A = this chain, B = another copy of it.
């Protein structure tokens, strides 16, 4: 039997998580209608769905059923969507477009955008704590909630966003830049790998540690590639404005290392991510392909 190519799986899982998100998000006909409509627009209006993909591919590699992973994939995408809404606000990056469309505070208003973000964050935890989503074992569910909460808080995404804002217009050292991105993007991507692995109770320490390392490395590689695309990418292909980082005087890898070194750092990280999965043998093939995809993507 021929295995489907990764591009096919990416498409399948994208559709799968979008269907699941549609089910978990409150209907736009249910009050408060405007808030629900804003949440749905923000979450269902496109996106690469890299984080859900990470959840599904990791879960599959350790033998977890897809239906167990749906709630987790939705929760991380809701957290991601909320962070984009708040990052785009006038008080933060003040972005007018996202994925080729007006940002949420432009399409609605600032108050609605703030509240839609708030409500999406908490909906993620509502989904994870539901008896009918995620793994059955309550201890695993709690470990997943703990992991995602910590990845989103001040030692993760929210902390990274503050460092990002404070760093704007300053010259960072490479360790400072790396720390910022580990927090801002890395922890959540790492959490995608970890929460999927937490659905499987029988993992060896070797495999768990390998996945931990893999998550860390591809999280950083993903952000470096994002920085690179902001420089070399085409606004049309990416669905967002290229060159924004430079205009905002953001600290980036290409800015600090030059384009070529940034590319090779991303490739190194993808390789080391794959090396960490050796204990899993061929079960890790898809995850290795994903690492490749993350650093070679054009959007």
Contact = CB atoms under 8 A, between A and B. Distances in A.
Interface of A: 26, 31-32, 34-36, 39, 82, 86, 89, 91-92, 109-112, 114-115, 117-119, 121-123, 125-126, 128-131, 138-139, 141-143, 145-146, 149-150, 152-155, 158-159, 161-163, 165-166
B114 A91 contact: yes
Nearest to A89: B114
Nearest to A113: B91
A158 B91 contact: no
A131 B145 CA distance: 11
A126 B165 CA distance: 24
Provide the main secondary structure of the chain A interface. helix
A175 to B, nearest CB: 13
Contacts of A158: 35, 115, 118-119, 122
Task: Please indicate which of the listed interface residues A32, A36, A121, A142 has the most CB atoms of chain B within 10 Å of its own CB.
Answer: A32
Given A117-B118, A118-B86, A123 B153 contact: yes
B115 A129 contact: no
A165 B108 CA distance: 13
A154 to B, nearest CB: 5
Contact of A111 (B36, B91, B150): B91
Nearest to A79: B122
Nearest to A150: B126
B32 A152 contact: no
Given A91-B109, A119-B154, 6 more contacts: A26-B154, A32-B163, A111-B165, A119-B153, A123-B154, A129-B145
